Amino acid sequence: MRIATGGYAHETNSFGSIQVDKQILLKTLRRGKEAYFRSFSGVGSSNGGLIDEARELDIELIPTLRATMIPCGPSKQAVFEEFRDEMVELLWQAHCEKPLDGIALCMHGAGVAEGYPDLEGEILRAVRSKFGREIPIGIALDLHGNISPEMVEYADIICGYKCYPHVDGYETGRTMLKLLHDMILRGSRYGKALVRLPWHIAPAFCTLCHYTPHAPPPQFH
């Protein structure tokens, strides 16, 4: 099974004065297989979880383009668009080399770029417009994403962290890839629904977390 991965993870404060420019992006950009595995192998993040789950399920994981920005103001439009277009192109190249079975993206869920108030929805829309409806797409997100109707429409699986502090990114990456793997094997999509719950979660809170004995220690990356 071949699953490609990538993602533009940017927790955005749309009131923030510092924008993601090329300099900020380049500090965190990981392009291709070697840079990805060197950065995320053994790391307790969603990408680290993807790597271990892929190994366990005998999935060929194909990294394309990955960036995790510091939380700040919106990304500059040209910077975001350049990233989006290159990531989609690299996904497509991987597909042309040998057909992909799925796409697994790790993002934040509260990303904003100039001209794109729903950054994740835009990335997913761009991937779908290149690949069509056939290919299953899973995404792993942070705890406090803004889940849009477009994200639900374009993605087949959305998994978010459950813990604050975010110590379950690793498990979230693994869960998302496992669900994607199982969906591909069963050959049909899961049902989807977007339900907005009638409460608001205060930002300063903690959850009790239980680590699985096999999970590596959490690291923020």
Q: Which residues bind Zn ion (CB under 5 A)?
A: 142
Residue nearest to Zn ion (CB): 142
Shortest gap between Cβ of 9 and Zn ion (angstroms)?
10
DSSP state of 74: P
What's the start-to-end Cα distance of the chain, in Å?
27
Nearer to Zn ion, 101 or 142 (CB): 142
Shortest gap between Cβ of 11 and Zn ion (angstroms)?
6
Question: Could you give the angle at which helices 169-186 and 46-56 cross, rounded to 10 degrees?
Answer: 40
Considering only CA atoms, give the Rg of the chain: 16
Shortest gap between Cβ of 205 and Zn ion (angstroms)?
12
Shortest gap between Cβ of 40 and Zn ion (angstroms)?
18
Nearer to Zn ion, 90 or 112 (CB): 112
Nearer to Zn ion, 53 or 142 (CB): 142
Give me 135's structure tokens.
């290919």
What phi and psi, each to the nearest 5 degrees, are found at residue 42?
A: 75, 5
Are 130 and 92 within 8 A, CB to CB?
A: yes
Nearer to Zn ion, 63 or 145 (CB): 145
